């Protein structure tokens, strides 16, 4: 018996030792060479990008920020109060202040059309442009802006400018060398080099319509609206945003592809605004266990259908998996959103979808995308626009996971919220004795507590209390 056991053990050991792995080794022998093999050659992309540099402008904006109206306070008109602080108190009341910001832009026509980011010029009272090689300042007017893609077009009264050459962002490959041109930190025209780190980046949480080029070329505050060019000097993207914990460059920057920019700019110049088709559905990607429910392994799943929407009228239902729009394959939810957004209101589109593992086709007449389709409770929050704290938002604004609440993304000028002291970036954690974890909680608290209410906020790590009336 022991002999059989010994033989079996030896056989098992031989079987186990027979397992092996072969590595794909790089050649052991190689040589190092100087580029071009000439020690007297300086490697440079100067000639490739010198024309592109002449097409990138500096943009400065001014915005008047109103201070609270102290003159309307009952204390201001109290005789004792005025006597205590003296007759010059009125002159010491803070006046409206001027908020200044800087950015970049790209010349796209000889007669003065310039493309930039919407967030660079949004709400500006005055826009000033300086072109490379000149100290002359030009006053710019807004031609059109599209917050959903963060693209804006402005125009200056100038002739014979040098428009940049446009490339084709659909031909970019990961690893391509690119250059970011702009005016970071107001130090002056700056060029930084990197590579294309990724393509078709979506769900970043920056814009509604996202299809970003990711790059490690240094993009810093002031670069927004500037050019991302390839090694020929052709424009491939408009620098837009960074992911950062420090406020500076961490090697993860995003640019809006030039092909998307061209489509938006053309419509802004021709009409002054963007009119987008609208399905009226809430969608999500086909992922995880959802893939087991459907025959196809790609597409966008309908989670909800709005009442009287274009989708409902065409017969689409919750649970349908959209596969194609006008014979174009839909890989995920972001692609469906982009395809529908590129269509005009009233346009008829053919949608192929899967329902109960069978494929159907329907014709949808798109409606106009409503202005209030973004996640906002503006009308119910006294001038606040809010956003839930999802993973993308936390990463973008460097918000720790132990902080719960809703993020203030915009405060309407002269609104009740502005007068109460709210600012962009505030995190609302509680209202009276009710904790706020999402926008629905906020809505409930607003309805529950009538009259003045104490709002507890977190501002850059410091707890504050404001009163919303």
The fold of 169-271 is Thrombin, subunit H (2.40.10)
The CATH superfamily assigned to 375-468 is PDZ domain (2.30.42.10)
Q: Where are the domains of the chain?
A: 55-155, 169-271, 277-371, 375-468
pLDDT for position 275: 83
Instruction: Note whether 55-155 and 375-468 share their fold.
Output: no
Amino acid 184: pLDDT: 82
Domain 277-371: give its CATH code: 2.30.42.10
Successive 10-residue mean pLDDT values, the chain, 469 residues:
54 59 77 72 86 92 64 53 53 58 89 92 88 89 89 92 92 93 83 90 70 87 89 92 67 89 90 85 82 88 85 89 91 86 88 91 87 41 80 76 87 82 89 86 83 84 81
Q: How far apart are CA 122 and CA 118, in angstroms?
A: 6
Residue 6 confidence (pLDDT): 53
pLDDT for residue 230? 92
pLDDT for the residue numbered 56: 93
Place of tokens 């052991």: 28
Q: Which residue has the tokens 């409606």?
A: 367
User: Using one digit for the tens of pLDDT, what is the confidence trace for 66-117?
Assistant: 555 545 555 555 555 555 555 555 555 555 566 677 889 999 999 999 999 9
Measured CA to CA, the distance from residue 264 to residue 208 in angstroms comes to 14
State which fold the 55-155 domain adopts: Thrombin, subunit H (2.40.10)
pLDDT on residue 378: 38
Q: What is the pLDDT of residue 249?
A: 64
Cβ atoms of 278 and 345 within 8 Å: the answer is: yes
Q: Write the DSSP assignment of 324-338 as a string of letters.
A: EETTEE--SHHHHHH
Catalytic residue set:
119, 150, 224
Q: Does the predicted model carry a pTM greater than 0.85?
A: no
Q: What end-to-end distance do the CA atoms of the chain give, in Å?
A: 90
Q: Please report which helix (H) or strand (E) contains residue 446, including its range.
A: helix 439-448
Residue 432 has a pLDDT of 82
């Amino acid at each position: 018996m022991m002999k059989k056991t010994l033989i079996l053990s030896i056989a098992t050991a031989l079987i186990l030792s027979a397992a092996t792995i072969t590595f794909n080794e790089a050649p052991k022998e190689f040589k190092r060479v100087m580029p071009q093999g000439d020690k007297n050659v300086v490697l440079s992309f100067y000639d490739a990008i010198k024309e592109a540099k002449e097409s990138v402008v500096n943009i400065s904006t001014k915005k008047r920020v109103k201070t609270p109206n102290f003159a309307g306070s009952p204390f201001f008109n109290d005789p004792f109060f005025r006597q205590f602080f003296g007759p010059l108190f009125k002159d010491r009341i803070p006046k409206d202040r001027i908020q200044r910001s800087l950015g970049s832009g790209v010349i796209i026509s000889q007669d003065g059309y310039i493309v930039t980011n919407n967030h660079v010029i949004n709400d500006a009272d005055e826009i000033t442009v300086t072109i490379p090689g000149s100290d002359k300042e030009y006053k710019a007017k807004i031609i059109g802006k599209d917050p959903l893609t963060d693209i804006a077009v402005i125009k200056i009264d100038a002739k014979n400018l040098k428009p940049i050459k446009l490339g084709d962002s659909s031909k970019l490959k990961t690893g391509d060398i690119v250059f970011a041109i702009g005016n970071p930190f107001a130090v002056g025209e700056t060029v930084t080099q990197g590579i294309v780190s990724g393509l078709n980046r979506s769900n970043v949480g920056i814009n509604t319509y996202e299809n970003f080029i990711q790059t490690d070329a240094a993009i810093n505050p002031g670069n927004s609206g500037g050019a991302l060019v390839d090694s020929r000097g052709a424009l491939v993207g408009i620098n837009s945003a960074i992911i950062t914990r420090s406020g500076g460059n961490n090697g993860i920057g995003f640019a809006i592809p030039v092909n998307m920019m061209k489509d938006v700019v053309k419509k802004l110049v021709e009409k002054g605004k963007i009119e987008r088709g609208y399905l009226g559905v809430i969608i999500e990607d086909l992922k995880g266990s959802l893939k087991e429910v459907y025959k196809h392994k790609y597409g966008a799943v309908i989670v909800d259908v709005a009442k009287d929407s274009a989708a409902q009228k065409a017969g689409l239902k919750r649970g349908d998996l959209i596969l194609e729009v006008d014979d174009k394959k839909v890989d995920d939810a972001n692609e469906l959103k982009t395809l529908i957004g590129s269509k005009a209101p009233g346009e008829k589109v053919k949608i192929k979808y899967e329902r109960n593992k069978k494929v159907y086709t329907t014709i949808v007449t798109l409606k106009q995308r409503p202005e209030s389709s973004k996640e906002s409770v503006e009308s119910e929050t006294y001038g606040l626009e809010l956003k839930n704290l999802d993973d993308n938002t936390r990463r973008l604004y460097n918000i720790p996971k132990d902080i719960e609440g809703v993020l203030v993304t915009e405060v309407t000028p002269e609104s009740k919220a502005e007068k109460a002291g709210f600012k962009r970036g505030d995190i609302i954690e509680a209202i009276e004795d009710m904790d706020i974890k999402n926008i629905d909680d906020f809505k409930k608290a607003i309805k529950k507590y009538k009259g003045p209410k104490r709002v507890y906020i977190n501002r850059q790590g410091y707890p504050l209390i404001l009163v919303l009336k």
